[in-house]
């Protein structure tokens, strides 16, 4: 009865959690989400992409205890399997398609939140500032190998950023686990996103087309780096990834407004120079 009552309530926030072989970490992620103290309904939408470890068992156990968890345990990996840089993309799209909330909070299964008021702070801000589309906050970067942790964002991170800042692509300012943004994806993800290996920034670009970006300087979560993470594939030495990222910006240039074309053109030129340098060094 409790579960039916909860599911009938339309959530204000959809917490989307893509998972693949996160058995060592997923319980910590879920505990951080379930610890959130909020005055609204939320749902936790988990897509387990046919993990080969015990991720599915842990997720299933939590979903039986907590009615706000909607677990999708895929028996077969949704792919694509090639190229590997696009791995997990279809699972991300799947859970976006299940999001019912006005806002979306992202947290991959190997990251976690540490502040129980995180969601309330970010949702309150978006409620009160309709000219903002996306919020993010400081994260602590932690390493599985025991390397010293450090903040994700620089100490001089701007409080307000824009779509133009994302198009400059000079540094990675949006830690996935820190983001809460308006659900502008009711009609699906952009066609160019499906071809892009830069999955997260592509999502944030789509959101930032609808408003500004707010940064909270408080550390409210942790971003975990480990051998199984996609950041070990998406590196500055990966020619396919860099060429693919350039192609994403070229697609954005084709649909952009005139005031953003100059920034995009410069970014594309910079990637062309990087790619040429990689060719010469090989």
Handedness of CA 7, 123, 121, 224 (dihedral sign): positive
Token output for 281: 């060094």
pLDDT in tens, 131-189: 999 999 999 999 988 899 999 999 999 999 999 999 999 999 999 999 999 999 999 99
Helices 239-255/258-281 angle, 10° precision: 160
What is the residue whose two structure tokens read 């594309």?
268
Global confidence as pTM: 0.93
The predicted-structure confidence for 191-207, as pLDDT tens digits, reads as follows 999 999 997 999 999 99
In angstroms, the Cα distances linking 17 to 21, 98, 168, 259 are 13, 11, 28, 35
* β partners of residue 224: 142
DSSP H or E stretch at residue 43: strand 42-48
Residue 165 neighbours by CB distance under 10 Å: 18
pLDDT in tens, 74-111: 999 999 988 888 999 999 999 999 999 999 999 999 99
- Is residue 236 predicted with pLDDT exceeding 90? no
pLDDT tens digits, residue range 111-137?
A: 999 999 999 999 999 999 999 999 999
* DSSP structural state of residue 182: E
Express as a percent the part of the chain with pLDDT over 90: 87
Residues 141/152, Cβ–Cβ less than 8 Å = yes
Between CA 147 and CA 53 the distance in angstroms is 25
Give the SS3 label for residue 103: strand
């Amino acid at each position: 009865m409790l579960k039916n009552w909860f599911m009938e309530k339309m959530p204000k926030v959809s917490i989307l959690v893509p998972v693949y072989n996160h058995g060592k970490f997923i319980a910590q992620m879920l505990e951080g989400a379930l610890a959130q103290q909020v005055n609204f309904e939320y749902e936790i939408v988990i897509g387990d992409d046919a993990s080969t470890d015990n991720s599915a068992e842990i997720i299933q156990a939590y979903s039986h205890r907590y009615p706000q968890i909607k677990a999708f345990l895929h028996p077969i990996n949704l792919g694509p399997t090639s190229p590997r840089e696009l791995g997990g993309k279809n699972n991300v799209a799947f859970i976006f398609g299940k999001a019912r909330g006005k806002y979306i909070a992202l947290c991959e299964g190997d990251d976690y939140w540490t502040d129980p008021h995180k969601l309330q702070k970010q949702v309150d801000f978006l409620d009160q500032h309709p000219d903002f589309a996306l919020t993010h906050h400081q994260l602590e970067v932690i390493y599985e190998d025991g390397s010293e942790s450090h903040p994700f964002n620089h100490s001089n991170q701007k409080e307000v950023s824009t779509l133009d800042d994302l198009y400059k692509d000079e540094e990675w300012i949006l830690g996935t686990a820190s983001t809460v943004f308006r659900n502008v994806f009711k009609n699906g993800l952009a066609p160019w996103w499906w071809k892009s290996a830069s999955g997260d920034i592509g999502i944030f670009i789509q959101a930032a087309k609808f408003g500004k970006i707010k940064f909270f300087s408080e550390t409210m979560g942790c971003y975990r780096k480990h051998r199984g993470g996609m950041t070990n594939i998406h590196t500055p030495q990966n020619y396919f990834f860099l060429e693919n990222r350039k192609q994403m910006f070229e697609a954005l240039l084709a649909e952009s407004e005139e005031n953003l074309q100059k920034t995009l053109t410069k970014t594309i030129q910079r990637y062309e120079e990087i790619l040429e340098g990689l060719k010469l060094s090989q």
